[in-house]
Amino acid sequence: MKKLQQQIHYFFPYLLYFLIPVFYYFIASAAETNFVFLNYIFYISCIFLCAILLLRYYYDFITDNRKILFLFIFCSAMFLFKPPLLSGDIHRYVWEGHVQNLGYNPYSIAPDNTIFNNETLNKEVNHPRMTAIYPPLAQIIFRFFSLINPSLYLFKLFFLLVSLYFVFFLSRKKEFFKDAYLLAALFPFFIIETSSSGHFDIIGILFLTLAVFYLYQNDGSKSGLFLVFSVLTKIVPVIFLPLFFVNLKKKQKLYFTAAFTSGFLLYIPYINAGIRLFDSFSTYSKDWVFRGYFYTMMKFLGFESFYARIFLVFMFLCIYIIIFFKIKNISENIFLTWLSLFLLSPVAYPWYLLWLIPFCGKKYFYAAAFFMLASFFTYEVLDKWFCCKNWEENFWLVVLSYSAATAVSCSIAFSTNWFKEIPKS
């Protein structure tokens, strides 16, 4: 009996390792069929459970970089030639690159403009009345790949390669980013949102990670350059500018400032759009809503949208100031600031949580994992959308899923006996 138990213990991690790509296969297959939320969340939960079991009981097995990178590449590649299912943002990336190659400024002209009636690439773009929202570095990358071939599969290949480098970089810099590469490679969220849905966030996340790495090295010029690159792919990381500045030595602050400000020269090719450069970002900030945790509760309690937004902005500023002065660890500061912003924002797309991955450390590893699992429950809204074009949000699902994730995170933060941290190798 003891020998049988030893054999089971030896082969069980290989079984889990084998089951993860099997469940990914079922998810990839669903991209070509009708979306069924319960099936989707079942497969996601199975991968999540396999990852938890491997981490808790077979840590040495999965910290072999070759095993983890092979698993990541193999599972990511399944989605390369599959259409995106959970989000159509990648169609806008392709279109905005293509429209620049036609000679137009994407900040000045929307995809539904009548001059594009004979085009086909704009037909799949979501919110076609809106001009470009992504900053200039994003637009330059879109233009480059659309010039080669305006194909979403080329874009997905690029995101896959960037994701692979990101996971590899994290695995080689464990002393700075702990076991963050395991959160990216082992759990389902990163692969689904990058390799399947093809979200551009991975570029901004990589740049922010590199900026933090060079901040740890006290290299002001490289840190400033990568931070501005992150800001010029996704504006939000600008909130970390004060954190970077105060953590550099005096001389390096000058190099940082010079590098950071020089990045904004990338706006010059698009400057003829004038104030329309920020039209879509302004609309997004004032009017956009997607299953924000506290915003959803405030709306349920009867608050008008305007007053709810004002209150949540005030709350975030208070929390931001507290974190800035109280939390000295750079990664922990970024993690808590981003998570606070996510929970307080009216717009809480699941892929926004990917920005937590590099900065979770051992302390917040499981907190990040459970929040990302909770975020996938918000995709329930797609069931009726794909079936009947009916966008109907479930208040209780949003509140209960994020409340559960918050409870788990608080339990971990206050050092309860379950899921404290990843075992040491």
* The predicted structure's pLDDT at residue 419: 45
pLDDT score, position 90? 93
- Assess contact for 363 and 332: CB atoms under 8 A: yes
Give the C-alpha separation, 211 to 219, whole Å. Answer: 9
Angle at 380 between CA 374 and CA 385, to 5 degrees: 150
Structure tokens at 61: 């097995």
pLDDT grade for 32, boundaries at 50, 70 and 90: low
Is 425 a member of any domain? no
Average pLDDT in the 376-405 region? 81
Q: What is the mean pLDDT of residues 14-38?
A: 82
Residue 91 to residues 156, 157, 198, Cα–Cα distance (Å): 11, 14, 9
Residue-wise pLDDT tens digits, 235-281: 999 999 999 999 998 889 999 999 999 999 999 999 998 888 888 88
**Cβ atoms within 10 Å, residue 24:** 26
Cβ-Cβ contacts under 8 Å for 172 (sequence gap 6 or more): none
In a domain, 200, yes or no: yes
Tokens linked to 417: 């006996």
Task: Establish if 207 belongs to a structural domain.
Answer: yes
Q: Is the dihedral of CA 169, 354, 368, 60 positive or negative?
A: negative
pLDDT digits (tens, 9 = 90+) for 54-72: 887 888 777 778 888 899 9
**Does residue 418 lie in a domain region?**
no
* pLDDT surpassing 70 at residue 137: yes
pLDDT confidence of residue 9: 60
Q: Which amino acid is at 299?
A: K
Q: How confident is the model at residue 420 (pLDDT cuts 50, 70, 90)?
A: very low
CA distance 93 to 282: 19
| 243: nearest Cα among 212, 265, 270, 264 | 212
310 lies in which domain range?
A: 2-413
Q: How confident is the model over 376-404, as a mean pLDDT? A: 80
Give the total number of structural domains in the chain: 1
Distance from C-alpha of 111 to C-alpha of 126, rounded to nearest angstrom: 9
> Which pair of tokens denotes residue 135?
């900053």
**Mean pLDDT taken over the chain:** 88
Whether 186 maps to a domain, the answer reads yes
Rounded CA separation 48/71 (Å): 14
What is the mean pLDDT of the segment spanning 336-361? 94
Q: Is the pLDDT of residue 425 over 50?
A: no
Candidates 86, 75, 81, 98; CA nearest to 21 is 75
Tell whether 405 is covered by a domain: yes
Q: How far is CA 212 from CA 77, 143, 175, 402, in A?
A: 29, 28, 13, 28
417 or 54: whose pLDDT is higher?
54
What percent of the residues of the chain are helix, what percent strand, and what percent coil, each to the nearest 5?
75, 0, 25
Residues 63-81: b if buried by 16+ CB within 10 A, e if exposed: beeeebbebbeebbbbbee
Query: pLDDT category, 14, cuts 50, 70, 90?
Result: confident
What pLDDT was estimated at residue 10?
66
Decide if 372 is inside a domain.
yes
Separation CA 99–CA 95 (nearest Å): 6
Is residue 166 in some structural domain? yes
- Is the pLDDT at 367 greater than 50? The verdict is yes
**279-310 pLDDT, tens digit each:** 888 888 888 888 888 998 998 888 998 899 99
